[in-house]
Amino acid sequence: MNTQKQTQLTKWILTYLPEKNDLNGTLVLEALAGDAGFRRYYRLNTTPSMIAVDSPPSKENNLAYAKISLALNTRGIRRPHLYAVDFSRGFFLLEDLGEQLLQPLLSAETVTNLYSQAELMLLKIQKSPLDHDVFPTYDKAILTQEFDLFATWFVKELLGISLDKPAKSMLNKLCNDLITSALSQPQVIVHRDFHSRNLMFLEDEKLAVIDFQDAVIGPITYDLVSLLKDCYVCWPVELVELRALSYKQQLEDSGLVAAMDDETFMRWFDLMGLQRHIKVMGVFARLALRDGKTGYLQDIPLVVAYVVDIFKRYPEVAAFGQWFEDQIMPHLTSQNWYKDRNEPSLSRLIKQDNSK
């Protein structure tokens, strides 16, 4: 942050600091690790401490963040309380929920309890009314734009591969097939990035959710697959399927889905995961190349392993799988940042990488 911007933010904080938050001497802004966006976070030396956010209006949808934050609060979803906002400059004052992300707490011993809590929160989100004034629709246009990140940033920009006409045709068909599967599902509120780095473990041992500004109305399996096939944590395929089907039962019990066979639900779940992970390969490549966040390259091998696992199990995506193995994998394995991962079906331990 430049000096002028810091001076503006400091003055704004002092103007809108809640009376209950005592300032300990001169105001100090302690920079914190950011997320994948353009927002910058600062912990303040107040009691209790608070978080100030510099969220550039030209880069981030701050109105959406505020509207969704208030909507989640009315539904009883724990998230950082919003104390003050300046939309013109992109300044926020938020409750400080601490630094304990869910990811480093996950282990074979804790997964049942922690994921059960996360799934209860997710069910509460999905049972919320569909307010179209707050949550945009995750429609074909948006899903297509996301899918296209793969060809643009991962295939072309990161790996330097030019797509020929047959490859473009194959990817277009895959995109349409995955979108058809996604839109055939019941539509609910979707956080859109519901995973272990966006869930906070609080002092009262409850969970809170962050980074929700991109929430939409979309497919019912999207957040579930984001949680169980986390891009930063890998579980055995057997555990993923067990938890997915257990959650399916909760959905049926709550009336969010009609009674259905396990195979149909898992097909929804797995193809939704394929769509998400294809998109994520493009997102991680873009973060590395455009934004200089090269640490995300280290997360690509796990995402690739998820993709490989699915195209080996579903004949309808076999053409994509063959192309991926023939055209993509040779380029991937030659990258100095790429380390081959066991497929999720062979994984027995979680990946804990807290280096970023």
Question: 12 lies in a domain?
Answer: yes
Angle at 117 between CA 307 and CA 34, to 5 degrees: 65
pLDDT of residue 355: 35
Let me know whether 322 and 222 are in one domain: yes
Q: Is the pLDDT of residue 348 over 60?
A: no
> How far apart are alpha carbons 356 and 101 in whole angstroms?
13
State yes or no: pLDDT of 345 exceeds 70: no
**Residue 333's pLDDT band (cuts 50, 70, 90):** very high
| 1 has pLDDT over 90 | no
> What would the two tokens of residue 318 be?
């076999």
Check pLDDT > 60 for residue 235: yes
Query: Tell me, what CATH number does 58's domain have?
Result: 3.30.200.20
Least-confidence region, from 63-67, 118-122, 221-225:
63-67
Sheet holding 40-44, edge to edge: 29-32, 40-44, 50-54, 91-95, 82-86
CATH number, domain at 257?
3.90.1200.10
Q: Given this model, what pLDDT does residue 2 score?
A: 77
Question: Total domain count for the chain?
Answer: 2
38 band by pLDDT with thresholds 50, 70 and 90: confident
Residue type, 286: R
Quick one: 238 and 279 in the same domain? Answer: yes
Q: What is the pLDDT of residue 119?
A: 98
Work out the pLDDT band at 344, boundaries 50, 70, 90: low
Q: What is the pLDDT of residue 25?
A: 86
Shared domain check, 259 and 335: yes
Asked if pLDDT for residue 122 goes beyond 90, the answer is: yes
**How close are the terminal C-alpha atoms of the chain, in Å?**
20
Q: Please tell me the predicted confidence (pLDDT) of residue 22.
A: 86
Q: Please state the rounded mean pLDDT for residues 157-169.
A: 97
Residues 6+ apart with CB under 8 A from 284: 154, 296, 297, 299, 300, 303
Residues 143 and 222 in one domain: yes
Q: Dig out the tokens for 203 from the structure.
A: 């002092």
Instruction: Please tell me the distance from the alpha carbon of residue 222 to that of residue 352, in angstroms, as a whole number.
Output: 23
In sequence order, what are the residues at sequence separation of 6 or more whose Cβ sits closer than 8 angstroms to the Cβ of residue 46? 17, 21, 22, 23, 24
Which tokens is 276 given? 């998400």
CA distance 153 to 282: 5
Both structure tokens of 133: 């004034």
Q: Which residue(s) pair with 10 in the sheet? A: none
Count CA within 13 A, CB hemisphere, residue 170: 15
Distance CA 184, CA 179 (A): 8
> Is the model's pLDDT at 138 over the cut of 70?
yes
* pLDDT of res. 6: 86
**pLDDT value at residue 196:** 97
Last residue of a domain, one of 95, 115, 134: 95
Residue 236 lies in a domain: yes
How many CB atoms are closer than 10 A to CB 321?
A: 17
Question: Can you read off the two tokens belonging to residue 18?
Answer: 């809640």
Q: Tell me if 356 is assigned to some domain.
A: no
Burial of 68: CB neighbours in 10 Å, binned 0-12, 13-18, 19+: buried
Residues in the chain: 356
Question: Do 122 and 20 have their domain in common?
Answer: no
Residues 173 and 318 in one domain: yes
27 Cβ neighbours under 8 A, 6+ residues apart: 10, 13, 14, 44, 45
CA separation for the pair 332, 353 (Å, rounded): 21
* 120-135: average pLDDT: 96
pLDDT at 36 over 80: no
Residue that is last in its domain, among 65, 95, 125: 95
State the burial class of residue 146 (Cβ atoms within 10 Å of its Cβ: 0-12, 13-18, 19+).
Answer: buried
Residue 354 lies in a domain: no
Task: Please report the pLDDT score of residue 356 as a whole number.
Answer: 34
Q: Do residues 124 and 265 share a domain?
A: yes
Residue at 244 is within a domain: yes
Question: Which pLDDT band holds residue 349 (cuts at 50, 70, 90)?
Answer: very low
List pLDDT tens digits, range 270-316.
999 999 999 999 999 999 999 999 999 999 999 999 999 999 999 99
pLDDT at 34: 66
Q: What is the pLDDT of residue 341?
A: 76
Residues 113 and 90 grouped into a single domain: no
In a domain, 353, yes or no: no
Tell me, yes or no, whether 52 and 179 share the same domain: no
For residue range 42-94, list pLDDT tens digits in order. 999 999 999 999 999 999 999 999 999 999 999 999 999 999 999 999 999 99
Structural domain contains residue 51? yes
The answer on 127 and 34 residing in a single domain is no
What is the predicted pLDDT for the residue at 270?
98
How many whole angstroms separate alpha carbon 19 and alpha carbon 55? Answer: 24
User: Domain range for residue 182?
Assistant: 103-346
Q: Give 173 or 38, the one with higher predicted confidence.
A: 173
| Helices within 127-164 (DSSP H only) | 140-149
Nearest to 212 by CA among 197, 231, 202: 197
On whether both 206 and 57 belong to a single domain, the answer is no
95, 116, 143 - which closes a domain: 95
Are 78 and 34 part of one and the same domain?
Answer: yes
Question: How far, in whole angstroms, is CA 188 from its chain's centroid?
Answer: 16
What DSSP assignment string belongs to 109-170?
TTHHHHHHHHHHHHHHHHTS---TTTS-B--HHHHHHHHHHIIIIIIIIIT-PPP-HHHHHH
Q: Average of pLDDT values for 128-153?
A: 97
355 is a domain residue = no
The CA-atom distances, in angstroms, between 76 and each of 73, 81, 85, 188, 247 are: 5, 12, 21, 16, 20
Closest CA to 73 of 227, 224, 209, 268: 209
Report the distance separating Cα 129 and Cα 71, nearest Å: 10
d(CA 17, CA 24): 12
> Tokens in use for 170?
């194959």
